[in-house]
Amino acid sequence: MNKTDISFAKKYNLKYTELKYMYGLTGYVFDFEIGEHDLMYWCRSKLSRHKSLVVECNYHAMCIKVYDRKEKEKTCAFYELVKKLHDIFNLEYHETKDGSRAYNKVVDFVLLHPEYKPAFDSIYN
């Protein structure tokens, strides 16, 4: 994550929490109290101006989640690879009801498409 979030939080004395998500994504969560709607809207508008950040705002939970744009896109693309492998396994398993055959189909797919190897390793290792 870039220094923008941390410097922003320190400059305006905001509480934040660093969260580590699956597949290497790091995000920052800014929590606000019940009466701080105006501060939350202001922070969202300030952070949204940065083109290198993804800002997700939850008005019911009174929090703002901020991610690095490149890191988030890379993580989403990696998740799509993992999801494709899960879909291949599930389709084969529901057709044959044989887990080893479904696993072998995923292995064969990964051998044909080497770009899926890191996703395969993240699932089975």
Q: Are 103 and 57 in contact (CB under 8 A)?
A: no
Tokens found for residue 68:
């690095």
pLDDT tens-place string over residues 91-100 = 999 999 999 9
| Mean pLDDT of the residues in the chain | 92
Give 116's DSSP letter. Answer: G
- By C-alpha distance, which of 1, 25, 36 is closest to 15? 36
| Band of residue 2 on the pLDDT scale cut at 50, 70, 90 | low
Q: 101: which residues sit within 8 A by CB, 6+ positions away?
A: 92
pLDDT tens-place string over residues 10-56 = 888 998 999 998 888 999 999 999 889 999 999 999 999 999 999 99
pLDDT at residue number 6: 82
Distance between CA 11 and CA 90 in Å, rounded?
Answer: 49
**DSSP reduced 3-state for 89:** helix
Distance between CA 26 and CA 38 in Å, rounded?
Answer: 26
Give 1's DSSP letter. Answer: -
Q: Are 116 and 124 in contact (CB under 8 A)?
A: no
pLDDT tens-place string over residues 70-99 = 999 999 999 999 999 999 999 999 999 999
Whether pLDDT at 1 is above 80: no
pLDDT at residue number 24: 86
pLDDT at residue number 111: 96
- Beta strands 16-20 and 63-68, pairing class: unpaired
pLDDT at residue number 4: 76
Backbone angles phi, psi at 59, to 5 degrees: -75, -25
| Band of residue 60 on the pLDDT scale cut at 50, 70, 90 | very high
